[in-house]
Structure 1
Amino acid sequence: MRVIYNEQMGELATMLGEMAGMAGSAMDRATQSLLQADLALAEQVITESDRIAEMITLAEERAFALLALQAPVAGDLRQVVSAIQIVADVNRMGALALHVAKVARRRHPNHALPEAVNGYFAEMGRIAVSMGNTAKEVLETRDPERAAQLNDEDEAMDDLHRHLFSLLMDREWKHGVAAAVDVTLLGRYYERFADHAVEIGRRVVFLVTGVLPPDQDSADAERI
């Protein structure tokens, strides 16, 4: 039974890593569709979201089957519960990439973004894709030190988001209300994508060490 459990957990971990990588790839294509007003790329992200959804459902089924059939305790239970929570985070990452692609499609053939903010979103997209790849890596390697590094990338994302918000509040903003709404929503999508990647890192650290790192957002709020 123990051998079977280990094999099933290994398969589930591999699936989680693959899904995180798919979410990162989806955000990469979604960002390019946004910056280039590329309808074909946006449609590709939207179409492939079904594949991610299928894998999410399968991963959830496998995790709950492990919980029900193997009756894990102690460290084994920690692995299964963490896997269920990670599935939810990967699901949200994929959904956020989908939201970005849908904005690009809705505004096509026009660009959804004013040229003035393209640089912000190019960098936010780069960070988001990097974090998706890192999440995939730590799910496969279970390296707690590498998982903790996701916080550094998240801080860079948060800095960009704050600068972007400051730009929107500036009296010199000349791009209208509709563009401001799109930029606000899109900025939030990227920020939340990064937050879910960080949460995956926290869960991996918990998996390996048995200690859940503090939520960085909560810690920041306490310092403020």
Structure 2
Amino acid sequence: MREIFKQEMQELAEGLVTMAEHVATAIENATTALRVADLSLAEQVIDADNRIDELERQIDDLGISLLARQQPVATDLRVVVSALRLSATLERMGDLARHLAYVARGRYPEVAVTGPMQDILDQMGAQATKVGRRVYELLESRDLSLAATVEQDDDVLDQLHRDSFQVVLDEKEPLTRQQLVDSVLLGRYLERFGDHGVSVARRISYLVTGDAANAVHNPNEEGPHLD
């Protein structure tokens, strides 16, 4: 029985790594689709989100089964409960990438925004892609130096998000109403992606160190829930 338990715990960890890899690919493809108005790539992101959702269901089913059958305690319990929370966070990150792809698809063959706002969103997309890659690497390696880097990347995203409002509020910028709406939504989606990346980083820090203070970061408390 113990060998089966160990094997299932390994499956839980591997499932999270696979899920994070899909999320990293999704955000990279979604931001590229936005930047260059690539319809095919946007549709790939939208279709691929089903796989992320399915991985979340598999992880949740396995985690709940482990709780019910094995009644883990101490470190094992922390791992299982954290896996359930991590899968939910990764699923939301996938949803945010899908939202970006929806906008890219909806504005095709044009890009969603132009000018200074496009420059800011391109930078935010690059930072979000870094967050996605580092979250994947963090789940694979449990290297806490990566956790700190994720938080630094999110700080850059937060500043760029603030910068985006300066452009939106500048009456001299020739943005259409649709571009104004897209600018606000896209900035918010990218900023939220970073927040969820920080949530993953702190949860992994908690798993490695056992320090509950490392796990305190709930992006849902920072504003309206946008997946």
TM over 0.5: same fold?
Answer: yes
Counterpart-to-counterpart distance in 1, 2:92 and 2:146: 22
3-state DSSP class of the match of 1:127? helix
Q: After the TM superposition, which segments of 4 or more aligned residues of structure 1 sit over 3 Å from their partners?
A: 214-217
SS class of match (2:211): coil
Contact 1:31 1:100 in 2 (8 A): yes
Relative distance call for 1:216 and 1:150 in structure 2 (3 A) is: farther
What is the TM-score normalised by the length of structure 2? Answer: 0.91
C-alpha displacement at 1:60, in angstroms?
Answer: 1.1
Residue 88 of structure 1 deviates from its aligned partner by 0.5
Output the CA distance in 2 between the equivalents of 1:201 and 1:71.
26
Which ranges in structure 1 are unaligned for 5 or more consecutive residues? none
Query: Could you tell which deviates more after superposition, 98-107 or 113-122?
Result: 113-122
Aligned partner of 1:143 in structure 2 is 143
Residue in 1 that maps onto 2:217: 215
AA matched with 1:150: V
* TM-score normalized by the length of structure 1: 0.92
User: Which position in structure 2 is the counterpart of 1:153?
Assistant: 153
The 5 Å alignment of 1:118-133 reads: 118-133=118-133
Listed one character per residue, the Cα deviations across residues 81-131 of structure 1 (whole Å, up to 9, x for unaligned) are 100000010000000000000011111122211233222122211111111
| Matching residue's letter, 1:163 | D
- For 2:173, what is the secondary structure of its paired residue? coil
**CA contact 1:21–1:136 (8 Å) conserved in 2:** yes
One-letter amino acid matched to 2:177 = V
Instruction: Please say if residues 96 and 189 of structure 2, whose CA atoms lie closer than 8 Å, have aligned partners that are also in contact.
Output: yes
- Do structure 1's residue 164 and structure 2's residue 177 form an aligned pair? no
Is residue 117 from structure 1 mapped to residue 144 from structure 2 by the alignment? no
The match for 2:9 is 9
Give the structure 1 partner of residue 63 of structure 2: 63
**8 Å CA contact 1:148, 1:205 repeated in 2:** no
Q: CA RMSD in A?
A: 1.8
CA offsets, 1:153-173, max 9 Å, x none? 110110111111111111212
Secondary structure of the 1:149 match is: helix
SS of the equivalent of 1:172 reads coil
Question: Where does residue 225 of structure 2 map in the other structure?
Answer: none
| 1:198 aligned residue | 198
Q: Point out which structure has higher relative CO (alpha carbons under 8 A, 6+ apart).
A: 1
